[in-house]
A and B are shown apart, each in its own frame.
Chain A
Amino acid sequence: MCVTCGCADDNNITITNMENQHHHTHTLADGTVITHTHNHHEPAANVHAKIHQTTISLEQEILGKNNLLAAQNRGWFKGRNILALNLMSSPGAGKTTLLTRTINDLKDKLNINVIEGDQETTNDAEKIKSTGCKVVQINTGTGCHLDAGMIEKGLQELNPPLDSVVMIENVGNLVCPALFDLGEQSKVVILSVTEGEDKPIKYPHIFRASDIMMLTKVDLLPYLEFDVQRCIEYAKQVNPKIQIFQVSATTGVGLDEWYGFLSRRVAVV
């Protein structure tokens, strides 16, 4: 087992490199195609096992292995001057639409590459690929989130260039992804106005873990009973430091502010 999340070797995670003309799917269960450099037998750090008669005292963090891999990913990004963002939301909040619009609008300014996470299908990766950018699809099978081990393998396939941006689109889920550090510089939570303004206090973990919140589909506000101010208050209550952008990927409202932010972040990676 090389990951922490149940998406172990036998869980049939597949990685599809959309850059290739044929979609070759790597089935890691039998370890055939993907080169995996992580040593499964390396001694876990921070284990201090002492035997007292029959009791072994451990002070081992259960997420420690994921955190170790995430730290390696973070170093990998830093060494290549890559800005990596982890985009998380419930299914259907508009992550892929926001991402394709962002890539298209910033094509001439930023080199954006994508790791796309879904339980099944390469539908989203196809949409992203139509923008012309490099994309790798990770299908988690039964897994409900991406973890650092999957990102490590995905990066080997994606091979993003120096000084670029890697957008990691997590599996649609407002709970589990919050727990797993991928080695990204920032977590970005995406909430659409069709979901209700109380989501930040209903699912506080993900809003607390994120530096940025994108409130999407604001063009639909005239048709909904969604209290934007209350939503922002809830988000700030859970995470006073969260930075909020109100956008519509359909009309383009608010996107300039988001693009300005991205460009500044790339400059300081």
Chain B
Amino acid sequence: MHELGITQNIIAIVSENAQNKKVQRVLLEIGQLSAIMPDAIQFCFDICAKDTIVEGAKLEIVVIPGIAKCRQCGNTFDVDKPFGICECGSIEMDLITGQELNIKEIEVEELCV
């Protein structure tokens, strides 16, 4: 449910940074462990963009997989949920990647003079 609000915020940030030019493409990074569903963002994007300079823009989402580092043995391993168990048996770990929620870049229409 929070994806709708987050998408509204994405549109607001993109609009602020688009320098009054029409936005053609938005690239997001969403971590696999961020509790944000890319499909839901995709679903909300066109609705939220309506009547803004982002209307009609293409949304691309790069999903960043989760990687954790074990606090006991230092081993790094893949995780698909925000907890897990290392080969050494420890459950104490730090999440290295997978919690991202970033607007990576936007592409705007450049008018030739």
Interface residue A145 (Cβ < 8 Å from any Cβ of B): yes
Are B35 and A179 touching (Cβ within 8 A)?
yes
Q: In the complex, how many residues of chain A place their beta carbon closer than 8 angstroms to a beta carbon of chain B?
A: 39
Give B9's nearest chain A residue, CB to CB: A4
With contacts defined as CB atoms under 8 Å apart, how many contacts are there between chain A and chain B in the complex?
A: 101
Are A55 and B106 touching (Cβ within 8 A)?
yes
Q: A3-B5, A58-B13 are in contact. List 15 more A-B contacts (CB 8 A).
A: A1-B9, A4-B5, A5-B6, A5-B9, A47-B17, A54-B108, A56-B106, A58-B102, A58-B103, A58-B106, A61-B102, A175-B2, A176-B2, A204-B82, A237-B91
Residues facing B in A174-214 (CB within 8 A) are 175-176, 178-179, 201, 204-205, 208
Interface residue A53 (Cβ < 8 Å from any Cβ of B): yes
Are A7 and B5 touching (Cβ within 8 A)?
yes
> For the complex, what is the distance from the CA of A59 to the CA of B83, rounded to whole Å?
27
B110 to chain A, nearest CB (A): 4
Across the interface, which residues of B come within 8 angstroms of A239, CB to CB? 83
Are A62 and B105 touching (Cβ within 8 A)?
no
Interface residue A238 (Cβ < 8 Å from any Cβ of B): yes
* A-B residue pairs in contact (CB < 8 Å), sample of 11: A3-B5, A4-B5, A5-B9, A6-B8, A58-B102, A62-B102, A175-B1, A179-B36, A204-B83, A208-B83, A236-B91
> For the complex, what is the distance from the CA of A60 to the CA of B6, rounded to whole Å?
13
> For the complex, what is the distance from the CA of A143 to the CA of B35, rounded to whole Å?
17
Give B12's nearest chain A residue, CB to CB: A1
Interface residue A57 (Cβ < 8 Å from any Cβ of B): yes
Are A56 and B101 touching (Cβ within 8 A)?
no
Interface residue B4 (Cβ < 8 Å from any Cβ of A): yes
Interface residues on B, range: 20 to 34
Give A55's nearest chain B residue, CB to CB: B107
Across the interface, which residues of B come within 8 angstroms of A1, CB to CB? 8-9, 12
Please provide the 5 A-B residue pairs with the shortest distance between their CB atoms, ordered closest to farther. A6-B5, A5-B5, A176-B2, A54-B110, A238-B83
Interface residue A44 (Cβ < 8 Å from any Cβ of B): yes
Are A205 and B110 touching (Cβ within 8 A)?
no
Interface residue B87 (Cβ < 8 Å from any Cβ of A): no
Are A208 and B105 touching (Cβ within 8 A)?
no
Are A59 and B17 touching (Cβ within 8 A)?
no
Interface residue A221 (Cβ < 8 Å from any Cβ of B): no
Give B15's nearest chain A residue, CB to CB: A1
Are B109 and A145 touching (Cβ within 8 A)?
no
Across the interface, which residues of A come within 8 angstroms of B10, CB to CB? 62
Interface residue A91 (Cβ < 8 Å from any Cβ of B): no
